[in-house]
């Protein structure tokens, strides 16, 4: 949709959004080195946790920021199930690989990050200016790839938000998706993507940082 196709009211809304973003860029600076270290440079995946609670209000705050990350046609397919109670943790336990059990069961919160294959049912709300739902509903392979890809993106946003707010993360894929889906998403069209433990990490249980690929090994400017 082009700007010329909008009504006067829609144009006013768009102009206001443009001015708001322009003002944000003019009055803020890029993150400093310490902030970047908190999120990326010195952040670590956690294997153990302090006995400090993560409140429901904190979890809601995390989602409120996570949901603002971009997705294809604003499709927002990720669905988050936050496991806090001992009863629900025990239900999750059977799906975990043995070497993941301790670090998951001791985490204050385990986020099951899934993707809703019926995400296009919400496109009228999420992308109201154009009917894109048929594009997904009419192509099962495209629908699945969009749901999986964008929920993975949203999972990454989730971890960045957690770290930005002072929490630590322990993401993992060492579990049975089939068992998790049966236990937590039965009778839905939601499928699990990955797990991410969140809380306040125990620095005594981290190891040395593993190497990463150098720029020339992973990138090419053409």
CATH code (residue 186): 3.40.109.10
pLDDT band at 51 (very low <50, low <70, confident <90, very high): confident
The mean per-residue pLDDT over the stretch 29-33 comes to 95
The SS3 call for residue 53 is coil
- How much is the pLDDT for 44? 95
Beta strands in the chain (DSSP E): 78-83, 109-116, 168-172, 190-199
pLDDT band at 9 (very low <50, low <70, confident <90, very high): confident
What is the 3 state secondary structure string of 177-210?
HHHHHHHHCCCCCEEEEEEEEEECECHHHCCCCC
pLDDT digits (tens, 9 = 90+) for 111-170: 999 999 999 999 999 999 899 999 999 899 999 999 999 999 999 999 999 999 999 999
pLDDT digits (tens, 9 = 90+) for 192-215: 999 999 999 999 999 899 999 999
- The span from the CA of 76 to the CA of 37, in Å, is 28
Of 112, 111, 119, the closest CA to residue 77 belongs to 119
Range of the domain at 120: 50-201
Provide the token pair at 110: 């385990």
Beta carbons within 10 angstroms of residue 127's beta carbon: 17
- How much is the pLDDT for 127? 95
77 assigned to some structural domain:
yes
> Which residue matches tokens 């392979």?
141
157 assigned to some structural domain:
yes
Quote the number of domains for the chain.
Answer: 1
10 assigned to some structural domain:
no
């Amino acid at each position: 949709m082009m700007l010329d196709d909008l009504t006067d009211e829609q144009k006013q809304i768009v102009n206001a959004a443009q001015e708001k973003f322009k003002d944000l860029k003019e009055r803020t600076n890029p993150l400093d080195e310490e902030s970047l270290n908190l999120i990326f440079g010195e952040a670590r995946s956690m294997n153990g946790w302090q006995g400090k609670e993560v409140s429901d209000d904190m979890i809601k705050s995390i989602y409120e920021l996570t949901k603002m990350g971009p997705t294809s046609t604003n499709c927002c397919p990720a669905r988050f199930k936050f496991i806090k109670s001992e009863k629900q943790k025990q239900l999750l336990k059977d799906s975990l690989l043995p070497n993941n059990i301790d670090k998951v069961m001791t985490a204050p919160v385990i986020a099951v990050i899934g993707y809703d294959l019926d995400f296009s049912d919400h496109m009228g709300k999420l992308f109201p200016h154009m009917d894109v739902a048929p594009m997904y509903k009419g192509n099962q392979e495209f629908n699945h790839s969009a749901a999986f890809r964008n929920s993975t993106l949203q999972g990454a946003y989730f971890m960045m938000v957690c770290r930005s707010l002072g929490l630590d993360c322990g993401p993992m894929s060492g579990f049975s998706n089939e068992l998790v889906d049966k236990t937590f998403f039965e009778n839905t069209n939601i499928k699990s993507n990955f797990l991410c433990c969140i809380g306040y990490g125990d620095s005594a249980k981290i190891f040395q940082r593993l190497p990463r690929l150098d720029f020339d090994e992973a990138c090419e400017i053409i």
